[in-house]
Chain A
Amino acid sequence: MAAYLVATVVGVLLFEPSERLFERVDTAVLRWFASWRTNLLTDFMETIALLTSRWVIRILRWTTIATLLVVRRWRHLVVFVGALIVEGGVTYLLTLAIHRPRPLDVITLGAWQGFSMPSRGLAALAVTLVGMTYSLIPHGRHRDAAKWAIGGILGGVCIARVYLGVDHPTDALFGAVLGVTIGLTAFRWFTPNDVFPVTYRRGKAAHLDVGGRRGEAIVAAVGEQLGFDVLDVHPVGLAGSGGSTPLRLRVREAGSDQDQVLFAKLYAKSHVRADRWYKLGRTILYGKLEDETPFQTVRRFVEYEDHMLRLLVDLDLPVPRPCGIVEITPEREYMIVMEFFDGAVEIGEAEIDDGVIDQGLELVREMWDAGLAHRDIKPANLMVLDGQLKLIDVFFVQVRPSPWRQAVDLANMMMVLGLRSDAQRVYEHALRYFTPDEIAEAFSATRGVASPTQLRSMMKEDGRDLVAEFRALAPGREPMKIQRWSFRRVLLTLGVLTAALISIALIVSNWAVFA
Chain B
Amino acid sequence: MAWLMAILQTLLFIGLAPLLSGWIKRVKCRLQNRKAPSLFQPYRDLRKLYRKQPIVPHPASWIFRAAPYIVFASTVLAAAIVPLVAINLPTARIADVIVLVGFFALGRTFLVLAGMDIGTAFGGMGSSREMTISSLAEPAMLMAVFTLAMSAHTTNLSQAMNFVLDSGLVLRPSFVFAMGGLILVTIAETGRIPVDNPATHLELTMIHEAMILEYSGRWLALIEWASQIKLMLYGVLIANIFFPWGIAQTFTLNALASGLGTIALKLAVLAVMLALSEVLFAKMRIFRVQEYLSFAYLLSVLGLLSHIILEAAR
Q: State whether these chains interact.
A: no
Which B residues contact A (CB, under 8 angstroms)?
A: none
Which A residues contact B (CB, under 8 angstroms)?
A: none
